[in-house]
Structure 1
Amino acid sequence: DVAQATDILADIIQNSEISEDAVQRERGTILREMQEVESQVEEVVFDDLHSAAYQKCSLGRTILGPEENIKTITREDIKDYIGTHYTGNRMVVVGTGAVTQEELEKLAGDKFSGVPAEPTTGKKPVKESAIFTGSDIRARYDDYPLAHVTFAFESVGWSHSDSIPLMVMQSLLGSWDTSVSG
């Protein structure tokens, strides 16, 4: 039911009560997730790749963030983030399947009318350019039984006419692992 799903999303975005207990519970969950991610070789290698390719900008940071931030984030930090970033001009409502454009627009207009147009904190979200930095990083993980290598190249954006041919090339090149060796 699209109307019910829209109602639930709108309620979560506009009416979430973030208790200190919930922050504490989630902190433990995120720290456990971080340990799980750090035990997965591919995750570590790609985190290293992004860190090298996008130095000193948000694309170079892990999704979970630094452990120190997780350990120290407060309810007030989260409320401040929501007040700064949860604005109408930064949100998109998307529907697929059994809903028309008109129905979804009406639902979004009705259900998300309480979302502010501007930050309620008086702060403006930081707009940061993603700057690709050609670089080389060699990280040594002696616990890994095999070497893992990644390469990244600066390329065109999704809307560029060369993006489709580049995706075809990426698919043709594929990836290699020991199960493919002859």
Structure 2
Amino acid sequence: MNFKKKTLKNGLRVLVVPIKDAPSVTVMSMISTGSEYESKEKNGISHFLEHMFFKGTENRPKSIDIAKEFDGMGSEHNAFTSNEVTAYYGKASYKNFEKVLEIISDMYLNPTFPEAEMEKEKGVIIEEINMYEDLPQQTVQNVFQKMLYGDTPFGRDVLGPKENIKSMVREDFIKYRKSHYVAERTLVVVAGNVSSLDAFKKVGKAFKGILSGKIIKKEKIIENQSKSKIEIKHKKTDQSHIVIGVRTFGVHDKRLPILRVMSAVLGGGMSARLFQKMREELGICYYVRSSINDLTDHGNFTISAGVDKSRLDTAVSGILGELKKMSENLVGTAELKKAKDYLIGQMYLNLESSDSLAGFYGFQEILGQKLKKPNEVEKELLKVTPVQIKKLAKELFVDKSLNMAIVGNVNSKESLEKIFHF
């Protein structure tokens, strides 16, 4: 699976992933901006701005004009905002490549940010915030992030607080776009049934009006945890939702493949250790999963579960017990092979479409990683050894590094503090 990358004279990066005989093509514009680039006062603006790019351009004055053209091709189109990346994409038949590219570039280059639409969208985003606040599985993740990084860009929610959303004005969007939506911070990915030469030429023409600017650096993260932490957000729920985790490292760390395999041993599928322990053996939860959150300069490894309040202590002890085993015992040959095969199989299943391939290569490039093909990622995973996993587990799973966030009908930390250690 080949790719070609080029930096145009104006500083815009273009990445093309040709997929011979594919029925579709995806055009994705990715920008190095997100909640970690925001000030406290403007927290939430990256996500709000993402919404506003769909509200009209100089060539398509209303949101319905954009939607009609996408729908008229039977296309898929969407956008997303994360801590470090904001992206917009359209996916359609390869025959409509030029049309999709033209719409995506028009949204990027010529947004109008109508004030009436902006005021209406404030209500939409506030309801989006309300929706996630009503989902304890999501809320507990936000509590965990804030516990780890506090009142810094790294601990704030991508959506921002409601008071920020209510106070934003059109000039905020214009100023933020001017400094962040520039060639030096932007990547355009084209994946699908296209030729590289044709794609480079057409992207260059479509984005010829892109602004130039400086590369804005994020605030420097400070990692200084010296003891375990527990944070509880009281909420009347039938379940207590917990996240137990530790700080890890960013995407450039050579230990990332080891962490990925270790995570798969613990939480990769229904035969993984956590599922077998928590659901099959103890019968105390419906969902339990392990996750890796890896960004450019920091990361964390977490285990999430939902349990009855009365069985919270049992759940915490069960999870910590499985982590302790990782640091004390070598993973067996058969179990290690299964975990690697799980990761590799999932990776290839998730790369069956042009939009998933655009994301696979696009995220590597926008986060400053060395671009790797799927078979190269596979080779890295296959090299991981039981000794490496045990060594990493010993480094990560120590008492002072533990963190736990809980959302539910729980009032006291006392009993939990007594058992929250290895």
The CA RMSD over aligned residues, in Å, is 2.2
The residue that corresponds to 2:238 in the other structure is 145
The residue that corresponds to 2:113 in the other structure is 18
Distance of 1:152 and 1:71 partners within structure 2: 33
The residue that corresponds to 2:252 in the other structure is 159
The residue that corresponds to 1:130 in the other structure is 221
1:146 Cα deviation from its structure 2 partner: 2.3
The residue that corresponds to 1:113 in the other structure is 208
Which of 159, 164, 170 does residue 75 from structure 1 map onto?
A: 170
Output one character per residue of 1:135-179: Cα deviation in whole Å (capped at 9) or x when no partner: 624223240222222123222322332211211111221165975
Residue type of the alignment partner of 1:152 = G
| Stretch moving more, 164-173 or 139-148 | 139-148
2:187 is paired with a residue whose SS is coil
Distance 1:41 1:4, change over 3 A: same
1:102 Cα deviation from its structure 2 partner: 2.6
Q: Is the 8 A contact 1:6 1:111 kept in 2?
A: yes
Output one character per residue of 1:63-88: Cα deviation in whole Å (capped at 9) or x when no partner: 11011111111111111111111100
Instruction: Spell out the pairing of 1:33-52 with structure 2 (5 A cutoff).
Output: 33-52=128-147
- Work out the percentage of aligned pairs sharing the same amino acid: 27
Q: Is the 8 A contact 1:53 1:152 kept in 2?
A: no
Whose strand proportion is higher, 1 or 2?
2
Q: Is the 8 A contact 2:101 2:203 kept in 1?
A: yes
Residue type of the alignment partner of 1:144 = T
1:150 is paired with a residue whose SS is strand
1:148 is paired with a residue whose SS is strand
TM score, norm. by length of structure 2: 0.39
1:47 is paired with a residue whose SS is helix
1:58 Cα deviation from its structure 2 partner: 1.7
Distance 1:55 1:101, change over 3 A: farther
| Stretch moving more, 37-46 or 160-169 | 160-169
Residue type of the alignment partner of 1:127 = K
1:38 Cα deviation from its structure 2 partner: 0.2
Q: Which has the larger radius of gyration?
A: 2
TM score, norm. by length of structure 1: 0.87
Which of 125, 139, 150 does residue 55 from structure 1 map onto?
A: 150
Distance 1:101 1:152, change over 3 A: farther
Q: Is the 8 A contact 2:147 2:231 kept in 1?
A: no
Q: Return 5+ residue gaps in structure 1 as ranges.
A: none
The residue that corresponds to 1:86 in the other structure is 181
Instruction: Count matched residues.
Output: 178
Distance of 1:99 and 1:143 partners within structure 2: 53
Distance of 1:137 and 1:74 partners within structure 2: 38
Which of 143, 168, 173 does residue 261 from structure 2 map onto?
A: 168
Distance 1:85 1:142, change over 3 A: closer
Point out which structure has higher relative CO (alpha carbons under 8 A, 6+ apart): 1
The residue that corresponds to 1:102 in the other structure is 197
Distance of 2:250 and 2:217 partners within structure 1: 21
Output one character per residue of 1:96-138: Cα deviation in whole Å (capped at 9) or x when no partner: 221233333222211111111116xxxx745222334536242
Distance of 1:142 and 1:33 partners within structure 2: 19
Q: Is the 8 A contact 2:122 2:166 kept in 1?
A: yes
| Stretch moving more, 59-68 or 156-165 | 156-165
Distance 1:29 1:168, change over 3 A: same
Distance 1:37 1:133, change over 3 A: farther
1:23 Cα deviation from its structure 2 partner: 0.4
